[in-house]
Chain A
Amino acid sequence: MKTGKKIGVGLILAALAMSAIGCANNGGNGGNTASPGSDATNTPTGSKTEKVKIVYSMWGSAEEGSTTQAVADKFNASQERIEVEVQAIPWENYMTKLNTLATAGQLPDTGMLQEGGVIQWSGEGMLNDVSAMYEGSDSKPLDSLAYKHEGNTVAYAAANEILLLYYNKDMFDKANVPYPPAALDQAWTWDEFVATAKKLTIDKNGKHSGEEGFDSQSIVQYGTSVENLSWQLETWALSNGGGFYSEDGTEVRIGEDASVEAIQKVADLYLKDHVAPLSVGQTDDGIQRTIIAGTVAMATNGQWNIGTSLNTAKEEGLKYGVAVLPYLKDKVTLNTGGANVVFSQTKHPEEAMEWLKWYNSEENNWALISSGIWMPTLDKWYKDETFTRKWVENPNFPPYEEYKSAVVDYAQSDAARPAAWFYTNYTTDFNTLLGSVLGDVWTGKTTAKEAITKNLDALKAAHAGSK
């Protein structure tokens, strides 16, 4: 009886899987259809035999795919053992497509993976351990860029990103207020940050927040905007001595007073201090809405904004600067970066790692790095000034000294901590639920304490993956 049901379900799934397989075949020959004779290349003397074929998947348009293929072709020409074929999949469908490929057993050998998916895929046994990748290399990725699952390194980030404080220099000059500090040892406390934000918040009569007669309903320029997307909020929870999770990712700590208090402080920027516009975490375009729109003097967000939007705005005359984040108790910024993984379905893990290691060397991602979208992952770019200058002395970036201090040094300091998805599972579920729980906190209908306490069990269940 039970098997009968299973067969029925199986048949239906088979019918559905057909379409998935159909799609898979359009996108190249899948990972496991290695060319005949590829086994022979595993013998050291097999230099004359056919190359091992590796498929690398990435998100991006067909055009971006051919750019990457051109890079891969350099790799293909540089040695005689491995032939890399790039498979570009549009960002919107990337994870869906990989899921169907996984079901069909046709995953590429290696590829990019979205942050939230790494630990989950590893938990499902879909990823290879890559800790051997940098054995014997002189430069390794920064420690905070390794995805760890059950003590094993299952991926390295393809790029580095950290959270920063951006600010509009013209607004500071006009208000005659000193710029936010670029050096970590001079980082503002939260109170200094709020005090500065008040000076930069102006209503239509020119009054500042906190002044007599200030009208919070007619603000024309806001002092600050602290991004409140769930994952970025963890910065403040950690900074206040709390956090979303315990260090090993097993426990949920968001219910602790320190975490709740930190989230309330972010909400209070709008509710009590009247220095921030209302933002309920509905869209992911914080810098465009604030610094680039010219409505806010300071805003926190990821480094990638330098390359995705601020470089264009700079050309159009925006004078912005970068600074380190303010802090509550501990100085904290989060770092992150989409992962490059080796799928466990591959028959050629060694070759896949060799390609990844070659490809992840910064020279091969130079377009993304020099435009300011990605930061390098290998530590030599942070530690060796010649490399740092090669990276940063570039019209797309803020002045060298400022960026070096607020980004390069910040990223390798103790303040930089890996975002939760580097070490714990179900972050997507957790962050979605947290975003929904906090919806009425930003508008002041409820407090962070109330909202989180009420939903703590659900948050814990989401973290346990048993939603």
Chain B
Amino acid sequence: METINKLPKRRSRVYSSEARVAYICLIPAFLGLFFLTYLPLLGVLGISLTNWTGLKPPEFIGFENYIKLFTSDPYIKDSIITTIYFAVLSVIGSMIYSLFIAMMLNRKIPARSFFRAVFYIPYVLPAVAIYVGWSWLYEGNFGFFNYLLSEVGLNKIHFIADSSYVVPSLSLISVWLSGNLIVIFLAGLQNVPSVYHEAAEMDGANGWQRFRHITLPCMTPIIFYNLLMSLIANLQVVTPALALTNGGPGNSTRFLTYLMYDQAFVNYKIGYACATTLIIFAILAVFTIVLFKTSNRWIYNEGGDDK
């Protein structure tokens, strides 16, 4: 009995001293997380229950901000719809685009590293410069795209001045900006074991079959990661609205984060803006949970069910 008990005990002592070191090492990260993430989050929750404008001391008003948001706010409904619309378009677009580009760049093409740089560059350019550049392309009266359209005798398209075109137009910029996804896909593609491809080739599988049954399954963990990151980033979209459209025309680009910015830093309804922030948080949470819950159905794990 004694000898049997000894082993686990010793192991647990080692374990506990390791655990102690681990906990000590975690303290800085935890402090950062606690004071810079969780505490402010609680702060936002607290402020969202007040009518704080920044000028007078806040008064506790319960859920009034939330009630207003859902009953009388002139923007929130359009804002939620347009944010999700933009995010879905951008995520689907950039996933397909980046996977395609990554596969092209994974081949042995001439000047491969040059092209890799070319597709990554948009991601590292300063955002405002990008949007100013695109605004010249999109300009409704004399912009480059409209110049091309008029040269071939087509009617002008008001890419960002027309409420039906503005979200797809902005999504296109977002897709073009997805250089970071390409890099991650590329890394993933290089990990797809070439033996599978060789074996499949010997069995007479064509390119599409190999993509469908080898590349895609092997890439699913990477696809999941990119999907998640891209979704979170695109649901928090704000830069194009600030740089190009001011939320317009109408409410068509009044994205949630832009709405919150407007409430907090233009109209100084800080309590109200905090309530909006929590709505954004809830939407992000819902999308993330759904994604995680459905992920085990389509993610292929080489190591079995090693979760």
Contacts and interface: CB of A to CB of B under 8 A. Distances in A.
Contact of B42 (A12, A219, A455): A12
B300 interface: no
B246 A461 contact: no
A37 B141 CA distance: 65
Interface string B94-126: 000000000000000000000000000000000
B248 interface: yes
B196 interface: no
B142 interface: yes
Given A124-B56, A432-B262, A9 B163 contact: no
B163 A102 contact: no
A437 to B, nearest CB: 7
A455 B251 CA distance: 13
Given A217-B155, A440-B250, A442-B249, A282 B160 contact: yes
Interface string A116-133: 000001001010000000
Nearest to B254: A436
Interface in A195-224: 217-219, 222
Interface residues of B, number: 48
Contacts of B26: none
Interface stretch (B68-76, B173-181, B229-237): B68-76
Most A CB within 10 A of own CB, among B156, B158, B163, B267: B267
Contacts of A219: 141
A251 B72 CA distance: 20
Contacts of B163: 439-440, 443, 445
Contacts of A432: 262, 266-267
B161 A443 contact: yes
A99 interface: yes
Given A102-B55, A124-B56, A277-B141, A439 B46 contact: no
Given A8-B46, A278-B161, A443-B158, A13 B74 contact: no
Nearest to B244: A282
A399 B54 CA distance: 47
Nearest to A121: B55
Contacts of B156: 217
B23 to A, nearest CB: 25
Given A282-B248, A282-B249, A124 B141 contact: no
B141 A295 contact: yes
A428 interface: yes
B53 interface: yes
A368 B232 CA distance: 46
Contacts of A443: 158, 161-163, 249
Contacts of A12: 42-43, 46-47
A48 interface: no
B52 interface: yes
- Say which size band chain A's interface belongs to: 35 or more
Contacts, number: 123
A16 B39 CA distance: 10
A6 interface: yes
B54 A103 contact: yes
A442 B266 contact: no
Nearest to A438: B250
B161 A442 contact: yes
A15 B250 contact: no
A238 B254 CA distance: 29
Contact of B54 (A15, A100, A217, A222): A100
A40 interface: no
B268 interface: yes
Contacts of B252: 439
A281 interface: yes
Contacts of B68: 467
A6 B52 CA distance: 13
A113 to B, nearest CB: 12
B288 interface: no
A146 interface: no
17 contacts: A6-B60, A9-B50, A13-B46, A16-B40, A96-B265, A103-B57, A121-B55, A124-B55, A277-B141, A281-B249, A282-B160, A436-B248, A436-B251, A439-B249, A443-B161, A443-B162, A458-B74
Interface of B: 39-40, 42-43, 46-47, 49-50, 52-58, 60, 68, 72-75, 140-142, 150, 155-156, 158, 160-163, 244-252, 254, 262, 265-269
List the 3 shortest-distance A-B pairs measured between CB atoms, nearest first: A439-B250, A439-B249, A99-B54
Given A9-B49, A281-B248, A436-B247, 6 more contacts: A12-B46, A99-B54, A100-B54, A278-B161, A281-B246, A282-B160
